[in-house]
Every structure is written in C-alpha cells, then in structure tokens.
Amino acid sequence: MNSDQMHGHWREVKGWALEQLGRVTQDPWKRIAGRRERLLGRLQASLAESRRIAESGFPASQTGAVLVERRRARGR
C-alpha cells in the first residue's frame, strides 16, 4: 500500500465520520459533504492502485530512459 492509497483510505474514513455527524445532528449538508469525501477517497485509493499496477508493468530501466528523453526534448 503506497501513500496515495493511504491518503485515499484516510479521506474515506473522514468522510464516513462527517456523514455520521450529519446523521446525528440531522444536518443534510454535512451528510452530503461526508458522502462526497467518501467518494473522493475511494477514487483516490482506486487511482493509486491503478497507477501502481500500470507502473509495475514497465521495467524500471525503460521508465527512467523515457523520462530522460522527455527532459532532453523539453530542453531543445
């Protein structure tokens, strides 16, 4: 689990807590904000997992070479 995944899961937990606070206080806006945070947390964690899988499919030596070529192209 990388840091982006951890941040996504943490954001999801914060959203859950905010949603529960909205339920207790009967504030529909807090519930909506909590649902939004939960969704954004899930998306962030999912994107991090997809990025990890995609990056693991490329050899490290080729990835580094591509970055060097991009930097050289920008410098011209």
- Asked if 22 and 34 count as a contact pair (C-beta separation under 8 A), the reply is yes
Average pLDDT over all residues of the chain: 85
- Asked if 10 and 38 count as a contact pair (C-beta separation under 8 A), the reply is no
pLDDT tens-digit map of 9-28: 999 999 999 999 999 999 99
Q: Looking at the predicted structure, is the pLDDT value of residue 64 above 60? A: no
Q: Looking at the predicted structure, is the pLDDT value of residue 71 above 70? A: no
Q: What is the DSSP letter of 75?
A: H
Q: Looking at the predicted structure, is the pLDDT value of residue 2 above 90? A: no
